[in-house]
Copies of this chain bind each other. A is one copy, B any other.
Amino acid sequence: MGNVIVAQSGGPTVAINASLAGVIEGTIGSNYDKIYGSINGILGIRDDNIIDLSSIVASDPHFLKRLKTTPAMYLGSCRFKLPAIDSGDPIYNTLFEQFNKYQIEAFFYIGGNDSMDTVDKLSAYAAQIGSDIRFVGVPKTVDNDLCVTDHTPGFGSAAKYIATSTMEVIFDAQIYDNPSVTIIEVMGRDAGWLTAATSLAKTECCDGPDLIYLPEVAFDKEKFIQDVKSILGEKTNVVVAVSEGIRDAQGEYISASTGTLDNFGHAQLSGAGKTLEYLVKDKLGVKVRSIEVNVLQRAAAHMSSLTDINESEAIGKKAVDIAEEGVTGAMVTMERISNAPYEIKFDYAKIHDIANEAKEVPQDWINPEHNGVTKDMLMYLRPLVIGLPDVEYRDGLPVFVTR
């Protein structure tokens, strides 16, 4: 048989390189010959910026193990959406000429929604021109908002980092005997999964956040102040977790908009947490601070979930398996067979059924007061954060791999 090529795209997570390791390992155990890597997503194929991963693996015995726990993207990323396949754009011709040049029989794209759209279009184009190159998507997103799959690679690690950091912030918040409010702002513009993960901080040694607000329900400022006031009547130090994407009943973000748009036309949010900090200060006059968990929630490889890293690797291997079986235009998925003991079945689904639909937190996993999550949410989250991968350290700092 011929060769395969793999690329990564979209925003980083700490598990996307574990999926790359999985694709490489899957290829090594397959009938495919070489595995190539395309630099900066699909653009590396277009621009002939391609590296030979097989020879890197052969020359560095530590490579795959270190790659598994390296954050972000070894191959680099891109934000590039393919034009419609009937657009007449020459890029399709360029890409398939490149596939022929490198004798590619399967292309694996590790990424989010945009990458799945690329896989969908390339497989449709292949069908149109009679090419039998396989196109398989390997999902990743810290946001956990992809449909069909039980959860997404990258989410469990972000959830573990967020839950652990929330617990540590709660310990930090408890030291003084004076009333205080601490607001933790978590990523998630439309889906509240990451913010919900703060609920995991409730353990035998920690109360967890006292209030949790997700973007799936309209945020009511008056009710929020009443909620905080009520908890302040019971305990000294109140900790609140909010999603960056909370909106009021009119759909307006609870944040000071800077009025500027980012490179993709999204409105720049300047902090739901900061906004609520000012609100609490104004209305309750109590000591208050806000903490933005920030980019570390998707980058903190040192606090990733072993379950997530192992699943991300397995999903990469599965992608190679199904390509060998002849599947194309599909994304690898996870189905939860049982929760205790936790068991996952790896499967796949046609990408056409997945793209452009976001999976929100179900309303019945949010408490009736709209300021917390239910036991169902906790049961869903718990297995995803178990274990710490064996990150290698040298001189006290992690050892990662770079190109």
Contacts and interface: CB of A to CB of B under 8 A. Distances in A.
A278 to B, nearest CB: 5
Interface string A256-285: 101111111010101000110011001000
Contacts of A153: none
Interface in A278-306: 278-279, 282, 287, 289, 291-292, 294-296, 298-303, 305
A377 to B, nearest CB: 15
Contact of A303 (B43, B203, B275, B303): B303
B294 A291 contact: yes
B396 A160 contact: yes
A91 interface: no
A179 interface: no
Given A71-B172, A72-B172, A168-B296, 18 more contacts: A12-B171, A71-B171, A78-B176, A163-B397, A167-B397, A168-B300, A169-B299, A200-B397, A203-B399, A205-B402, A206-B402, A262-B274, A263-B287, A268-B274, A296-B296, A302-B302, A302-B303, A388-B393
Nearest to A205: B400
Interface stretch (A112-120, A126-134, A379-387): A379-387
A172 B299 contact: yes
13 contacts: A76-B175, A76-B177, A78-B176, A165-B296, A169-B296, A171-B400, A200-B396, A255-B263, A259-B260, A303-B303, A382-B396, A386-B395, A387-B396
Q: Of A169, A172, A385, which is in contact with the most chain B CB atoms at under 10 Å from its CB? A: A172
A155 to B, nearest CB: 13
A206 to B, nearest CB: 7
User: Which 4 pairs across A and B sit closest by C-beta, in order of nearness?
Assistant: A256-B262, A385-B396, A77-B175, A72-B171
A171 to B, nearest CB: 4
B300 A165 contact: yes
